[in-house]
Chain A
Amino acid sequence: MCQITSQNDVIPKEDCRLRYPYLSIIKSVGKSCMKCQEPATVVARLHDPFCRNCFLVYFTHRFRATFGKSKAVRNGEKVLIAFSGGHSSCTMLHLVKEGLAEGVHKKLRYQPGVVYVDENVCLEQDKEERSAQMRKIETWLKESTFPSYVTCIEEVMSKCSPGYRLISGDQSHDSEDGHDNPPTENSMKEEFKQLLENTSSLTTKEDLIQKLRLKLLKQIAKQLGYTKIMFGDSGTRLATVLLGNLAKGHGETVHQDMSFLDTRGEEVAIIRPMREFTSKEIALFSHQCCLQPVFIPRISTKASRLASIDTLTEDFVNGLQSNFPATVTTVLKTGAKLTSDEETIGKRHTCVLCQSPVDSSSSASSASAATQYSMSLRKSSTVYSSSSSEPEAACEVARDNASCCGEGDESCQSAKKNEELTSADLSVVMCYGCQVMMRDVKSLDRLPSSVLADVQRQKRRDEMRLEIEDFLLDGSEEG
C-alpha cells in the first residue's frame, strides 16, 4: 500500500547514519514490534512498540486516512501549507511531499503551496543568526518543489493587500498581477512594534500575534487563489489550545479551534491534519526520518511557567499527559462533541479579530451579565451619598485625552465625532474572548487598518439596519 523508499527521505539514509551513528546500532527496547514481530525501536503510545518501518507506515497511513475520512479536500484543490520550521511543520511538509510523489498509489491529488511567515519583528534577532535561519527555511521551501512564498507578519498592517516574496515558483502556474510583491516599508514594522508595545500582558501579545498571523495567511491565500490553509498543530498543541481558549472565554468556538476542518471566515478554510498525533509521536517520526527542523525563538520561548496563559496551559497538559496518557485524546474527543449554538448563528455579528460569532446577550443568569453588574457597581455607592472631593470624569475617553463631549450621562458622543474605537463599540463587534483580550491593549487604534475598517463597516451596517428595522420581514438575514 504505502511504501517508504529511501529516495523520499529528505536526507539519504547513508548520510543519516554518519550523522547519527547510533541509528545503525538499534537498541531494542526488549519488545517486539506489534505488527511484524521484529525487534522494536520506538514505543509510540503506552503499549504499542513498533519497529522503524512499521512505525513509518503506521504514521503515514494515519495522516492519509485523516484526509480520506473527512473528505474535506477535493481533487485538484489548491491548499496552502503554513510552514513554521518546527517539528510538526517539517513532518507535515515531508508527508505531503511523499504523498503526492510520482509512483505512489493514491486517490487524492491536491495542489499544495507553501508559505512561511517571518516574525522577526516580534523578537529581534542577531543578523547573522537570522540569515542562517532564513537560509535553512529557504532550503526547506525549495526542496519541497511546491510554489513557496515568504511573507512578514507586519504585512498585516498594510492598508491594501499584503506583500509576499516568491521563493520558488511552479512553472506551470499562470503569472498574475501581484505575483511577486516585495515586502517594503519599514513603517509597517514600526506600527506592528507599537501595537505590541501597547499591550501589557504576554498572553495578549501571543494571542494578537496568532490572530493577526491567521488573518494575514487568509488574506494571502485569498490573493493567490488557495481555498484551504493547512496547519501543522499537533494533538498536544490543540489540547493546550482548547484548554487555554476555555480559560480566555472563547467557549463557544473552542471546538473549531481544534477540529480538522475550521470553516470560520468566508472563503478560506483551515485544515489540521496533524491533530491525530501527539507531539511525542511527531518528534519520533521526525527523528526516524532524520528531518532537520529549524528552531526559531519566539516571545514566549524559555518564558517561565506563569508568564502567560499559554505557557501555563502547556505546562499543565504536558504534566498531566505524562501521568495520565489518555489526557490529550480525551480532551480532543470532548472538543469534537461540541458545536456552536445553531439557532442564533445566522443572526449574530462576526468578531472582527477571530471570525467567530459574537456572543448574544444571553439568558437570565450568566457570567457576562454578572461581570457587567460588578462593573456598574463601581460607579455607585449609597454609603457616601455626598459628592466626592474631585469630580471624576465618568467617561474613559474624556479622562484620557480631555476631549470630553460634555454629555456627562454616560452617553459619550466624543467617539462618534472622532470615529474612534471605544470599548463600548467592542461589545458589538468582538466576541467575549477578544474583548477580554483587548482590555490589555492601551490604545485600540493601533490595530491593523483592515480590522478598524471592519469595525466601522459593521457600525454603519447596524445604523442602516436600525433605520429599516420596521420593514424587515424575518430575522433570517446575516448579522
Chain B
Amino acid sequence: MPVACRMCGGPAVLKRPKTGDAVCKDCFFYAFENEVNYTITNGNLFKRGDRVAVGASGGKDSTVLAYILKLLNERHDYGIELILLSVDEGITGYRDDSLETVKRNQHQYDLPLKIVSYEDLYGWTMDAIVKQIGLKNNCTFCGVFRRQALDRGAMLLKANKIATGHNADDIAETVLMNVLRGDIARLRRCTAITTGAEGGLPRCKPLKYTYEKEIVMYAYFKKLDYFSTECIYSPNAYRGHARTYLKDLERIRPSSIIDLIHSGESLSIKKDVKMPVQGTCTRCGYISSNAICKACTLLEGLNKGLPKLAIGKSNKSRRLLDAASQSSDSTNEKTSPKEKKKDVTF
C-alpha cells in the first residue's frame, strides 16, 4: 500500500530526514526551496545589487547552493549577481577532479567562474605542505589558507559578499568541535548566519538549516551532477570524531542536529572571559587577532623549515620566529617567554 504524501496526498517517494514526513518529489522540492528562501529572507542575507561570490568546490553542498541560488534569484527576484569562485589547493586525485565538476557546473548553470590556487597565492600546494609536515595538522593549513584565498578571490572579482555551502551538519559539528577544543571565541561566532561583516567580506550560509541528507536527496532527484569523494588527507582529522558522533546522534534522534544548532545559538559567554581583539596583520594587512595573521605565521614556518610553527602551544618556536623577525625588521614586538598563546587549530 503506497504511503501518502503528507502535504498533497499523492504517492510518496521519500521520507524527509528533517521532519520524518513521507512526501512526494515535487512537495519535497517545494519544501526545500521554500525553506532556503525563508532562511535568506528572514536573515536578510542579500540586498538588491549585491555581487555574490559563491564558494564552489564541486561537491554536493556547493553544487546545490549554486543551483538553488540561481533558481531562487530568478523566482523571487533577489536582484543579485552570482559568480562561482573555486579554490585549487593542489591536492592531486581530489581537487583536480572536483575542479572539472565546477567547470561543468559553469556551463550547466551559465555562471561565470574564477579559480584561485594556493600555488599562485602562497607558493605552496597542499601536497608539498603535507610532504613537509606529515599527515597530522594539515587541515589547519588548508583551512586557514582557504579562508584567505576565498577572500582574496572575491576581492579580485569585486564581489561584496561570499556565500558558502555550509549545511546544518557542518554547523552542528563545528559547535561540538569548539566545545571539545575549548575555543570559546569561535563558539560564540560559529552559529551566526553571516560572519565577518566587520573587516573583510561578509560571508553567509544560506544552507545553514538544511540537513546534509536532504541536500543529497535534492541533488539526486534533480539529477544534479557533483563530485563526491573525501579529501585524501581527511581520515586523521579530529573533526572525524565529532562527525561520527553527529551521524550516530542523527540516527537516534533526527532533530538533534537542529537542536545542537539551537543550543549553539543560545550560548552566552561570561563577561570576564578574555576574548581576542580584532586588528590587522602587520605583514599582509588581512584581519587578524594577533600582530601577524595565522596564514603569514604558517607560511613563515613552511618557508623557514619550521613546519610546526603556530601548531599547538608554540612558545619556543614563536620566540625563535620573533628573534628572527626582530633581527630582520624593525617591529617593536616583545613576546615575553611566559606568554602562553594557545593556538587553536579549528
Contact = CB atoms under 8 A, between A and B. Distances in A.
A370 B263 contact: no
Interface in B25-59: 26-27, 30-31, 34-35, 38-39, 42-44
Interface residues of A, number: 61
Contacts of B241: 316, 319-320
Interface in A172-186: none
Given A201-B253, A242-B179, A334-B187, A367 B270 contact: no
B44 A374 contact: no
A247 B179 contact: no
B175 interface: yes
A246 B179 contact: yes
A433 B260 CA distance: 10
B48 to A, nearest CB: 18
B268 A338 contact: yes
A378 B19 contact: yes
A333 B182 contact: yes
A334 B178 CA distance: 9
A335 B261 CA distance: 16
B128 interface: no
A341 interface: yes
A331 B180 contact: yes
Nearest to A335: B179
Contacts of A312: 245, 248-249, 252
A465 B251 CA distance: 43
Contacts of B259: 247-249, 367, 432-433, 436
Interface in B95-134: none
A312 B241 CA distance: 13
A75 interface: no
A251 B267 contact: yes
Q: Name the residue among A245, A367, A389 with the largest chain B CB count within 10 angstroms.
A: A367
A331 B26 contact: no
B15 interface: no
B265 A251 contact: yes
Interface in B176-224: 176, 178-182, 184, 187, 193, 208-209
Contacts of A389: 9
B176 A246 contact: yes
Given A203-B252, A249-B262, A309-B253, A377 B35 contact: yes
A369 B42 contact: yes
A263 to B, nearest CB: 15
Contacts of A367: 209, 258-259, 261-262, 265
Given A312-B245, A365-B39, A370 B258 contact: yes
A interface, over-half SS: helix
Contacts of A334: 178-179, 182, 184, 187
A45 to B, nearest CB: 17
A246 B26 contact: no
A365 B249 contact: no
Contacts of A337: 184, 269-270, 273
B249 A359 contact: no
Given A320-B241, A338-B270, A383-B8, A251 B264 contact: yes
Contact of A383 (B30, B44, B180): B30
Interface string A245-269: 1111111101000000000000000
B166 to A, nearest CB: 14
B255 interface: yes
B336 interface: no
Given A334-B184, A381-B30, A383-B30, A339 B19 contact: no
A308 B181 contact: no
A117 B161 CA distance: 58
Interface in A329-359: 330-331, 333-335, 337-342, 359
Given A246-B176, A381-B27, A388-B8, A251 B266 contact: yes
A308 B253 CA distance: 9
Contact of B21 (A247, A330, A378, A439): A378
Contacts of A249: 259-260, 262-263
A260 to B, nearest CB: 14
A476 interface: no
Nearest to B29: A383
A370 B168 CA distance: 11
Interface string A364-381: 111111110111011111
A387 to B, nearest CB: 9
B6 interface: yes
B235 interface: no
B30 A368 contact: no
B10 interface: yes
Contact of B268 (A201, A245, A341): A341
Interface string A51-85: 00000000000000000000000000000000000
A388 B263 contact: no
Q: Name the residue among A309, A334, A340, A380 with the largest chain B CB count within 10 angstroms.
A: A334
B7 interface: yes
Contacts of A369: 42
B256 A247 contact: yes
Given A312-B252, A334-B179, A366 B265 contact: yes
Interface string A153-189: 0000000000000000000000000000000000000
B18 interface: yes
Interface string A385-398: 00011000000000
Contacts of B176: 243, 246
Contact of B260 (A246, A306, A331, A370): A246
Interface in A194-229: 201, 203
A380 B19 contact: no
A132 to B, nearest CB: 34
A364 B41 CA distance: 10
A361 interface: no
A308 B175 CA distance: 21
A333 B273 CA distance: 11
Contact of B263 (A251, A313, A373, A374): A251
Contact of B7 (A203, A305, A330, A378): A378
A294 to B, nearest CB: 30
A105 B90 CA distance: 67
A375 B42 CA distance: 16
A365 B263 contact: no
23 contacts: A246-B175, A247-B260, A248-B263, A250-B263, A251-B267, A252-B263, A254-B267, A306-B248, A337-B184, A337-B269, A337-B273, A339-B268, A339-B271, A365-B39, A367-B258, A370-B35, A377-B30, A378-B19, A381-B7, A382-B30, A388-B9, A389-B9, A432-B266
Interface of A: 201, 203, 242-243, 245-252, 254, 305-306, 308-309, 312-313, 316, 319-320, 327, 330-331, 333-335, 337-342, 359, 362, 364-371, 373-375, 377-384, 388-389, 432-433, 436, 439
Interface of B: 6-10, 18-19, 21, 26-27, 30-31, 34-35, 38-39, 42-44, 175-176, 178-182, 184, 187, 193, 208-209, 241, 245, 248-249, 251-253, 255-256, 258-271, 273
Given A249-B262, A312-B248, A330-B182, 5 more contacts: A248-B256, A305-B248, A331-B179, A362-B266, A365-B208
**In the A-B complex, the 9 residue pairs with the closest CB atoms:** A251-B263, A249-B259, A365-B43, A388-B9, A251-B266, A367-B262, A252-B266, A370-B209, A381-B7
